[in-house]
Amino acid sequence: MSERDSLAAEYALGALEGADLARAERLERDDAAFRAAVARWRADLCALDDAATPAAPSPDLWTRIEAQSHAARAGAPTPARAPRAALWESLAFWRNAGLAAALASLVLAVGLVAALNRAAPSPVYVAVLNAPDGRAAAVVNVHADGAVELIPLEDIAVPQGRIIEVWTLQDRAQGPVSVGRMDRARRLKLDLKTLRAPDVNHLFELTLEPPGGSPTGKPTGPVLMKGLAAKSV
């Protein structure tokens, strides 16, 4: 194999990064012989894809694809995905919509102000969040009126240039959703208004993220603590 054949093979395998990957992508676009070599490798390697264990997609996956395929052909901007999963799933949407992050911050801020004004009677659900070493590091109280509050039990070391982002996971299909951010450990009202009320076994977790929150809309940094909600007596 020539050097270029090797490049085509490693490209089809998925082994390239950085400058080599960029070069292969350029050749695939511009060089018919390279493109043919890559296509041949892909057809051969596909036998490995056939050996993966199939998994049944969610019932609504086709619905989402079909809805977006209309938008794609019409040349319309990509709409948010299903409301159930908009925050979590629309990576491209967030990336492309320059104002989205600012808007999300605004919505969050408004939600926080509203939440802060709410009274907080005794909680109906409680989540104890544990640090990786097992220490209880914070609690989340869920009150009957829907207010949700995070109360740290100890200080959190936040590296320079990082903030703390709070996530909840209500179901796996949806994935984690950001419900609050803070620059240091403090009491924080969580904004769950686009979500269901917390329930038993809903997960809460804190991660370190860049200023302004995770750039992907999903947790990207190390997990500081996590815990599941349980019904209080």
Are the CB atoms for 149 and 189 separated by under 8 Å?
A: yes
Q: Measured from the CB of residue 221, what is the shortest distance to another protein in angstroms?
A: 6
* DSSP helix, strand, coil percent of the chain (3-state; round to 5): 35, 25, 40
Angle at which helix 32-50 crosses helix 3-13, to 10 degrees, equals: 40
- The DSSP result for 189-207, as a single string, is EE--TTSPPP-TT-EEEEE
- Taking the least distance from each CB to another protein, the nearer of 194 and 216 is 216
- For 45, the token pair is 């390697």
- Taking the least distance from each CB to another protein, the nearer of 32 and 233 is 32
Q: Measured from the CB of residue 140, what is the shortest distance to another protein in angstroms?
A: 14
Q: Measured from the CB of residue 29, what is the shortest distance to another protein in angstroms?
A: 10
Residue with tokens 């600012």: 102
Q: State how far the Cα of 116 lies from the Cα of 136, in Å rounded to an integer.
A: 24
Q: Measured from the CB of residue 70, what is the shortest distance to another protein in angstroms?
A: 8
- Taking the least distance from each CB to another protein, the nearer of 109 and 173 is 173
- Taking the least distance from each CB to another protein, the nearer of 70 and 184 is 70
Residues interacting with another protein, by CB under 8 A?
A: 1, 5-6, 9-10, 12-15, 17, 35, 39-58, 61-62, 64-66, 68-69, 72-73, 81, 85, 88-89, 91-92, 132, 169, 172-176, 201, 203, 205, 207, 216, 218-223, 226, 228
Q: Measured from the CB of residue 41, what is the shortest distance to another protein in angstroms?
A: 8
